Amino acid sequence: MAEIPKSWNVPSPDGLVKEVDHSPASMGLQKGWMSTTPVEIKPGMHCYAALPKRSKALGMPNPRNWSAMDEDWKLPRNWKEIVLEGMKERLGKFRSFQLFMDICVRCGACADKCHYFIGSADPKNMPVLRAELLRSVYRKNFTTAGKLLGPIAGARDLTLDVLKEWWYYLYQCSECRRCSVFCPYGIDTAEITMMGRELTNLLGLNIDWIAAPIDFCYRTGNHMGIQPHAYKEMMEFFVDEVENYTGVRVEPSFNRKGAEILFVTPSGDVFGDPGTYTAMGYLVLFHELGLDVTWSTYASEGGNFGLFTSNEVMKRLNAKMYAEAKRLGVKWILGGECGHMWRVCNQYMGTMNLDMAKGSKMEEPVSPITGTKFENAKSTKMVHICEFTADLIRNNKLKLDPSRNDHLTVTMHDSCNPARGMGFFEEPRYVIKNVCNHFYDMPENTIREQTFCCGAGSGLNAGEDMELRMRGGLPRANAVKYVHEKYGVNKLACICAIDRAVLVDLMQYFVPEVDVTGIHEMVANAMILEGEKEKTVDLRGEPLPGKEDSK
């Protein structure tokens, strides 16, 4: 018979509420946040360490087997020097980093805006405190006051415990930038997290959920490591499915030189449900329009986990888009529904890689169907598919029967990056309202620029950190639950591949009556297609309203 552990004392009613051990004293908070005891790395709250082969493939430092749960992280002997040198280099290179280290006045406006803080109540998830983890080391090593006055000036030494605390909390930030909306100085905590992750990566402290996709992406073309023939076969499977459900056989092309448009989307849409139905939606739309568009098995990934690693890796992975556009001779790039892909393409790609487009046939994107010039995409030559579709609808170029979506009551989750990274609020809503009859927004302080993260952005969409994801996703789920109870919402629409993957988990836990969809899945379901058979099912093979008996 198993022995009962000694720690299993019978608790008293008083004890059960008293003995929770994050009292101020146990956390060391009475002495101030800086003197807390070493951080306890907890299972469910962090991601597994990168395998050495990933780091080797990318030429990243210190490849080895290690685990955050181990006492010894197998760091290089001169790790402290490496971090401080790295910090110095980045302070010189990125003015924003220097500025964000200096100008915070600790007003606290950001403190209660982070979804991880709201869901966990862990004070170190307040954006200000998370940033202070780095700032305290910055002050100690790079400011006169910090050097002289130490803790009084909010400065502290970089010790192994501090480093572990950095790492633990840098991977409890999804770089969603909600806090920055409320900062009176415009401090972008996401960029502080990025710098922190770059610094810890110098010691080989990468996580596998990020390192594996970048390794695959760098060598095979996409996050999943899918080779070109498999990518094509998967799409052919969609072609059969679409024909099965609609009676229309779509004919996508791959790596086709001379096409007008190159289409790039996250590989999650091609291989992971329910993103696959969105991919089928793209196929239907392109076919119906007769669009001169090609898919690429080389630029087969819209996502870019380099964004969560370092600016160099991000640049390297992003380069494929222009390289392929140039090779195929397309005029412009159409981008699928993705979150962080659009932060990279909208905010960084132009300055990072535009020189690669020199000598290509790319020009200011013009919709071949409506003639609309996408002036906003003049520099990057890349258009968001929701803008493209919204323009089609506005110009009456799509035959739509929104009643085909009448079994859906829809709300929309603004994905952080398109929302806060490119101010993309109305286009997706305009599309949704034209393809389905029942749409209800969530409360104002949970959408648009104030949108709550899915809880799993910035490479935290692994399985092993599920507790973290549920805590971080709680504010989003709470708002969905509200519209579910008030309006009967049963579908959560989003324009991000990570959202499509992780919101399903979040909904299953908090609001199981609500399912997740991409927008172009609903668009395709509402489209009246040339030569379609009498439709009885949607792209998931599920019966349309009123057709429940005909399956």
- Pick from 397, 504, 515, 536 the residue near other proteins by CB under 8 A: 504
Contact region with other proteins (CB under 8 A), list: 116-124, 254-262, 350-358, 525-533: 116-124
Q: Figure out which of the listed residues 49, 470, 489, 503 binds other proteins, where binding follows CB under 8 A.
A: 470
Return the structure tokens found at 66: 């290690």
Is 130 an interacting residue with respect to other proteins (CB under 8 A)?
Answer: no
Q: Does residue number 224 form part of the binding site for other proteins (CB under 8 A)?
A: yes
Angle, helices 275-289/228-246, rounded to nearest 10 degrees:
70
Residues 62, 276, 405, 417: which binds other proteins (CB under 8 A)? 276
Interface with other proteins (CB under 8 A), residue total 55
Given a contact cutoff of 8 angstroms between Cβ atoms, the answer to whether 49 and 66 are in contact is yes
C-alpha dist (Å) from residue 498 to 10, 282, 455, 459: 44, 17, 10, 9
85 near other proteins (CB under 8 A): no
19 binds other proteins (CB under 8 A): yes
For other proteins, the closer of residues 23 and 379 by Cβ is: 23
Q: What is the DSSP string of 426-494?
A: HHHHHHHHHH-S-B-PPPGGGSGGGPPP-S-TTT---STTHHHHHHHHHHHHHHHHHHHHHH---EEEE
Rule CB under 8 A: which of 39-58 touch other proteins?
42
118 binds other proteins (CB under 8 A): yes
Q: Furthest-apart CA pair in the chain: how many Å?
A: 79
Question: Can residue 35 be called a binding residue for other proteins (CB under 8 A)?
Answer: no
Instruction: Using alpha carbons, select from 462, 461, 412, 460 the residue that is nearest to residue 433.
Output: 412
Which x/- pattern over 438-457 shows residues binding other proteins (rule: CB under 8 A)? -----x-xx-----------
Q: Which residue has the tokens 């412009």?
A: 332
Nearer to other proteins, 193 or 446 (CB): 446
**Considering the rule CB under 8 A, would residue 475 count as an interface residue with other proteins?**
yes
Q: Across-strand partners of 334?
A: 263, 383
Q: How many CB atoms lie within 10 A of CB 8?
A: 8
The runs of H, that is alpha helices, within 355-465 are 385-394, 416, 422, 426-435
Q: Determine if 146 is a binding residue for other proteins (CB under 8 A).
A: no
**Which one, of 402, 407, 400, lies nearest residue 546 by Cα?**
407
Nearer to other proteins (CB atom), residue 120 or residue 220: 120
Q: Pick from 148, 186, 237, 533: which binds other proteins (CB under 8 A)?
A: 237
Helix (H, G, I), strand (E, B) or coil at 537: strand
| Distance between start and end Cα atoms, the chain | 55
Decide if residue 272 touches other proteins (CB under 8 A).
yes
The residue ranges that bind other proteins (CB under 8 A) are: 11, 13-14, 16-20, 22-24, 27, 29, 42, 111-112, 117-123, 126, 224, 226, 230, 233-234, 237, 270-274, 276, 443, 445-446, 463, 466-467, 470-471, 474-475, 478-479, 482, 501, 504-505, 508-510
